[in-house]
Amino acid sequence: MVELITLFGTYIAVFVTLGIFTILYKENPWYRISESLFLGLAVGYGVAQQMLFVRDQWAGQWSKSSIMMIGYFLALLVGIMWYFRFSKKYFYIYRWPLAIIVGTGIGASLRTVMIAQFLDQIRAQALLNLWVPNNIWPTTINNICMFVMTPAVLLYFWFTGADSRPGFMKYVDKLARYTMMAGFGSAFGYTVLTRYSLFIGRAQFLLGIPPNLAEGYPAFIVMALIMLATMIGYDLMQKKKTTAV
């Protein structure tokens, strides 16, 4: 027997899921209620988690010495300065924490970007084995493609707009365009596949397919009929009012 609180949560989840899907019909109150409910809960949960993080940071390490305490309160001061975003008179104060966050973020990420997307790529390309033993031919073909396609794309952008282009560049350009189209296509296909995976997961939840609760299916039928009837009835009432006028 499913507990009452679990059943209630299932009905709420079905309601929000179907309410978001009703946007496919048109803008309606069910969608606005679901959207507001989701955003409100997400923001509230996020604020609570951040406050808990601030408390745990103080109890964990920042309260151990006077220098750490000063750093902690300076960090809180920078956080409070964010709220000057809502003041027209003191809006300039908001730029200080923004500059600190953007500057430190770029400085911290620049090193990792240079290493992961530049140096490691060069190192991997230089250490690439074109022939993999033990007849692992898919890996061998993959390595050969990487060895040929990576320089082709680099040369394509290197010579773009140049006045004098070597004659072999027309072949390199064609290979580079094929490579980029394959990369863009696979990235887009992976994105679409991810969205379909999310949709399939929600559909399985609505149909009560295990490991989801079987109570999701009757909740789906009830909520779908209520939302469909109310939206169609509202549209018919609006048409009658328009015709009467």
Model pLDDT for residues 189-219, shown as the tens digit of each residue: 999 999 999 999 999 999 999 888 888 899 9
| Residues 230 and 190 grouped into a single domain | no
Averaged pLDDT, 151-169: 73
Buried-state track 147-156, b at ≥16 Cβ within 10 A, e below 16: eebbebbebb
CB-based contacts of 11: which residues, under 8 Å, 6+ apart? Answer: 219, 223
| Residues 38 and 83 grouped into a single domain | no
Residue located via tokens 């989840």: 13
Question: What pLDDT sits at residue 17?
Answer: 93
Averaged pLDDT, 79-99: 92
Position 1 pLDDT exceeds 60? no
| Residues 9 and 24 grouped into a single domain | yes
Question: What pLDDT sits at residue 159?
Answer: 63
Position 2 pLDDT exceeds 70? no
Range of the domain at 89: 65-127
Position 46 pLDDT exceeds 90? yes
Q: In this prediction, what percent of the chain has a pLDDT beyond 70?
A: 93
- Retrieve residue 94's tokens: 């908001």
| Residues 2 and 46 grouped into a single domain | yes
Which of 112-116, 126-130, 190-194 is the least confident region?
A: 126-130
Which of 13-22, 77-86, 111-120 is the least confident region?
A: 111-120
Q: Rounded distance, CA 175 to CA 166, Å?
A: 15
| Residues 148 and 119 grouped into a single domain | no
Question: What pLDDT sits at residue 135?
Answer: 62
| Residues 187 and 223 grouped into a single domain | no
- Retrieve residue 222's tokens: 């009830």
Helix (H, G, I), strand (E, B), or coil: what is residue 238? Answer: helix
| Residues 72 and 122 grouped into a single domain | yes
| Residues 142 and 191 grouped into a single domain | yes
Which H/E stretch holds residue 48? helix 29-57
- In this structure, are residues 78 and 102 in contact, taking their beta carbons and an 8 Å threshold? no
Position 162 pLDDT exceeds 60? no
| Residues 47 and 71 grouped into a single domain | no
| Residues 186 and 213 grouped into a single domain | no
| Residue 132 banded pLDDT, cuts 50, 70, 90 | low
| Residues 194 and 212 grouped into a single domain | no
Split into its structural domains, the chain has a count of 3
